[in-house]
Amino acid sequence: MKTFYFIILLLFGPVLSADESVLHWAADAESGAPNVFYEDGNLSKLVGFEKDIMDHIAKHLGRRAEFHQNDWDSLISGLQRGLYDVVINGFSPEEGKESSIIFSDPYYACGLSLIVRADTNKIKSILDCNEAVVGVLRSSKAESTLMSSLKNVKVIGYPNEYCAISDLKDKRVDAILLDGQVAAYYTKKLSGLKIIDEVDEIKYSIVSTSNNSKLMAAINDAIEHMKRDGALDALVSKWDICNTFYVQLRETSGKSKMNPPCLNSESSQRNNQEIIKYLQAFPFFMKAACVTLMISILAMCVAIVLGLCLAIMRVYMPKWISFLAISTIEFLRGIPLLIQLFFVFYGLPCIGITLPPLVAGILTLGMNYAAYEAENFRAGMVAVPYGQMEAARALGMNQWQSLRHVILPQAFTFVLPPLTNDFIAILKDSSLVSLITIVELTKTYMLIASNSFNFFGMGAIVAIIYFLIGLPFAQLAKLAEKHLKLEKRAYSSRKIGRRYR
């Protein structure tokens, strides 16, 4: 019973804690340096320029800042869905044209920097990129700028900075266009790259929804305050991200004593040992594995219960109910899981059904797999000889009693092997719920790897963890199968024994 309450708390916790003393803010920490990121991939150390700004603002508002991870693509949908109060992640007012979205006064400005490999001579400015392949962040300002200014450029959109930069190093793209301070961070961090051009200006604003206009006013007040008392300038120099656009921004809104930096400032060399990174990552991987396991098990429970109902409806109920069940099964398994997930999480709130992320994730996964389980159960029930049903009915049991005591226990023997298969499949498919803000094993891997520039080693660890989680279930199923099939094995061995004695 205790575990039951614990699970309920875990599922609905995020919704219940909607409380005025906390400022919920969101960003994408996946290769989010230097704005919001995990230092060296250590998930207990959330740092960054924007993180510091949110701390300042929260302090000014007398609230506690609480961070929410979400994918960059989904930050605004999450905001509209009420998962958090504000988003701070390099958004500029031009990017969101929707009226329900409001922007704060700018807290930072930068240009777009063009990065190429150090040995590239062909491209000297953005104008040389016509004919070239250029990487950008998906749906970023850089993407729209590039598309509108150059006709023959081939633009490739990336989900995060790290992917773009890896591809540049691996020569899959000729150049990438990133926000100035981000470009500076990565060229310092990784060798063999250079910044060759800077174009356009973008201003960073905090984003919220129009029903939070009061909060936004307070945030603007806080930003103004930070500008006046020099806190903002201090943060900019702390993160070493000063540039001419920022200086201009500060000059129009008050005095600034800052100078734009020289581009080649020496980066602080960190010699963190790899082992320590792995050790740091370990507890987070364990926690994430628990989340993945919990989601998978609960989703499987949903799938089994729902699947069983659908199978019974399909096999033993009147025609129209059976037809209903068949339609449901075909519908559920005919639509990509991803679409179902987005529909349930971001779509249903439009008609007033707002589910917490975990509940939405578990239900959707469970519903999708219920279709497959229903077919498994159906096959199992059909495999039980019809005489069994007749014998049970002849003894006076009604249909439900016959199913419950005679058919289902036998059907379960047939169903167990495919059920285990599906559990392992669900374990892997559960990584999809990371798209609705749940940080599980795959997302944890992405966060750690993209922030510690180690996709290989961390990837191996994650692969092993997935494998190890699935393993006991496969063994368990084998054991149970052995136990249930005991009868037939014993029979054959008895026969053989008799023959040879």
Contact positions vs another protein (CB under 8 A): 385, 387-388, 390-398, 401, 405-406, 409-410, 413, 487-488, 490-491, 494
Query: Among all chains, which residue has been given the structure tokens 């559920």?
Result: 332
- Is the Cβ of residue 18 or residue 391 nearer to another protein in the bound state? 391
Residues in CB range of 118: below 8 A, 6 or more apart: 191, 192, 193, 194
d(CA 383, CA 377): 10
* Residue nearer to another protein on the CB measure, 45 or 405: 405
Whole-number minimum distance, CB 411 to another protein, in Å?
A: 10
In terms of Cα–Cα distance, which of 335, 226, 333 is closest to 343? 335
Indicate the DSSP class of residue 435. Answer: G
Cα-Cα end-to-end distance for the chain: 54
Residue 326 to residue 343: CA distance in whole angstroms = 22
Considering the complex, state which of residue 478 and residue 494 has its C-beta at the smaller distance from another protein: 494
Question: Quick one: 387 or 472, whose CB is closer to another protein?
Answer: 387
The residue (of 283 and 409) whose beta carbon lies closer to another protein is: 409
Written as six digits, the tokens of 147 are 């598309």
Is the Cβ of residue 125 or residue 492 nearer to another protein in the bound state? 492
Least separation, in Å, of the C-beta of 323 and another protein? Answer: 20
Output 211-214 pairs: Cβ under 8 A, ≥24 positions apart. Answer: 212/85, 212/86, 212/102, 213/102
In the complex, minimum distance from the CB of residue 425 to another protein, in angstroms, rounded to a whole number: 28
Judge if the upstream peptide bond of residue 418 is cis by omega within 30 degrees of 0. no
Q: CB of 483: closest distance to another protein in angstroms?
A: 11
> CA-to-CA distance for 315 and 439, rounded, in angstroms?
39
Question: Which helix (H) or strand (E) is 219 found in, with range?
Answer: helix 213-228
In the complex, the smallest distance separating the C-beta of residue 382 from another protein, rounded to whole angstroms, is: 16
CB of residue 275 to another protein, shortest distance in Å: 53
Phi, psi of 196 (to 5 degrees): -120, -15
Inter-residue contact 81 to 102 (CB < 8 Å): no
Our CB check for another protein shows the closer of 476 and 490 to be: 490
Task: State the minimum distance, in angstroms, from the CB of residue 395 to another protein.
Answer: 4
